[in-house]
Amino acid sequence: MIVTYRINQKRLWNTLMELAKIGASPNKKEGITRLSLSLEDLEAREYLINLMKESDLHVHVDPIGNIIGSLAGTNENAPAVIVGSHIDTVFQGGIFDGSLGVLGAIEAVRTIKESGIKLTHPIDVVSFTDEEGSRFGTGYIGSKGMTGELTEDYFTLKDDKGLSYQEAFLQANLNPTNYKDAVRNGNEMKAYIEMHIEQGKVLEENNLAVGIVTDIQGPIWLEVTLIGSADHAGATPMDMRRDASLCMAEILLEIEKIAKHYEGVGTVGKLKIEPGGVNIIPGKGTFSVDLRHVDKQIRTQMVNEVYGKIEITCKKRKIQFQIVKKKDVDPTSCSESMIAVLEDVCKELNIKTMKLPCGAGHDSLIMSKVTEMGMIFIRSKDGISHHPNEWSEKEDCATGTQVLFQSLLRLAK
C-alpha cells in the first residue's frame, strides 16, 4: 500500500530542536542533562504533553509516568500498535537518543491524522519513564511498568543525593502507588515499534540513512563495593596495605580482558574512591560494571568470570567486597514479522537499507517479552552517542520517520 503522504521534515526538526533546549547546558560542550524525574525532565514532559495535544492525540499519563498519546482506531477493541521511545537523557547527553523516537512517532501519527486515513487499530505513542537509568541506576522503568515487571523494591532505589525513587515520583506530582494499573496485557497490543539513532558507525560506513535491527544486546549492570582500610600514605609500608583503589585497578583491567576475550563489551563508567585524600590510602572503592553480549549464554560466562576475578583479586589483596546486581535484561531478537514489514516498506519507498544488530539497550528489549517488536535505526554521525556531539542529519531523521509512518499504516491497517 503506497501512500503518497509525506511526513513534515521541517516540523519534525523544529520539535527536535525545541526539546533539545530543555536541559541544555549554557556551555554547549556539556550537552543536555535531563535525568529522569529531574526538573529538566519534568519540563520536557510538559513540552511533550502539549505537543501531543496540539497534534490532536488523546493524552494520558499512566501511574508510572509513561506519557501516552493515542490515536483511535475504527475498532476500539482492536489491540493497539505501540510506538515510542524515551526523552530522559544520560548525564551530558545529546539531542537524539530517545527524543528522535518519540518526536518521530508523534510526527508520523500526526501525518496519519492529517491524511484522513482511517485505521482499524488504535496507535499509542509512548514516551517511557526513565529508560536510561542514569539517576537511579537501573532504567527501563516505564516499559517494565507497562509489561508488569515492576516490583515495589524499585521505589526504594536512591539517587546519588539519597533521594528515593518514591520521593522523586511524589516531587514530580506522580504517585506510583497504583503502579500495577500501568500494566497492559500482551493481547491488548498488536506490536511495538521504536525508531532510534544507531549510536554506532555501521550505517555511516555503508552510506545508508536507515537500518533495520535484527538483535539487541542485553545489559547487566553491577555495583561493586570494595572495603580495605584507610591509612597513612607515608607511614604504611606497601606490603602492609589494604588499598581499595589498587584492587579496583586490577579488577578493571580484568574486565577489559574478559570483554575482549568473549567479543562482548564491558564498561566501568562510574567509580568512587573514599575517603579521597592525597595522603590517605583509599579504604573504600565503589564502581559500576556494564556487561553486554548478543548471546545470553556467553554473557553469563562473562559475568561469572567477572565475579570470579573480583573474588580472587579481593582475596589476594585482603579486601572485602559486595556485588549488587542493578540490572539484568536478556539480549533479544526483533520479530521476523516486524523485520519483514520494515524491509517491505523500505523497498516500496525505494530506500536502500541493511539489517544490523544493536549494541545499546532500549525499552524494546522489555516490550519484546509481551508483543511483536521491531526497530528502525537512523545513521549516527561518527557513531557518537551518550555525548554532546551526538548527531543525525535532518534528512535522515525524516527518512526514518517516513519509514515509521508507512510501517504504522501497515501495522494498524
21 vs 326: CA distance, rounded Å: 31
81 vs 406: CA distance, rounded Å: 13
Question: Which residues, 6 or more positions from 277, have their beta carbon under 8 angstroms from its beta carbon?
Answer: none
Residue closer to ligand GLV by CB (options 86, 284) is 86
Residue 266 interface partner, choices Mn ion, ligand GLV, none, CB cut-off 5-8 Å depending on type: none
CB 68 within 8 A of CB 60: yes
260 vs 126: CA distance, rounded Å: 36
Site string for Mn ion, 69-108 (x = CB under 5 A): ----------------------------xx----------
Task: Kindly state the cell numbers that stand for 84.
Answer: 515510542
Residue 218 interface partner, choices ligand GLV, Mn ion, none, CB cut-off 5-8 Å depending on type: none
Residue 200 interface partner, choices ligand GLV, Mn ion, none, CB cut-off 5-8 Å depending on type: none
Task: Kindly state the cell numbers that stand for 98.
Answer: 530517545
Site string for ligand GLV, 310-349 (x = CB under 6 A): ----------------------------------------
372 vs 367: CA distance, rounded Å: 8
Residue 196 CB, nearest approach to ligand GLV (Å): 9
Q: Is 360 in the site for ligand GLV (CB under 6 A)?
A: yes
Residue carrying C-alpha cell 482499524? 120
Q: Is 198 in the site for ligand GLV (CB under 6 A)?
A: no
Category of 173 on φ-ψ map: left (φ > 0), alpha (ψ -120 to 50) or beta = left
261 vs 279: CA distance, rounded Å: 37
- Ranked by CB distance to Mn ion, the top (closest) residue is 98
Q: Is 132 in the site for ligand GLV (CB under 6 A)?
A: yes
51 vs 100: CA distance, rounded Å: 14
Residue closer to ligand GLV by CB (options 349, 360) is 360
Task: Kindly state the cell numbers that stand for 401.
Answer: 520517520
Residue 361 interface partner, choices ligand GLV, Mn ion, none, CB cut-off 5-8 Å depending on type: ligand GLV
Q: Is 361 in the site for ligand GLV (CB under 6 A)?
A: yes
Residue 385 CB, nearest approach to Mn ion (Å): 7
Q: Which residues bind Mn ion (CB under 5 A)?
A: 97-98
Contact residues for ligand GLV (CB under 6 A)? Answer: 132, 219, 360-361
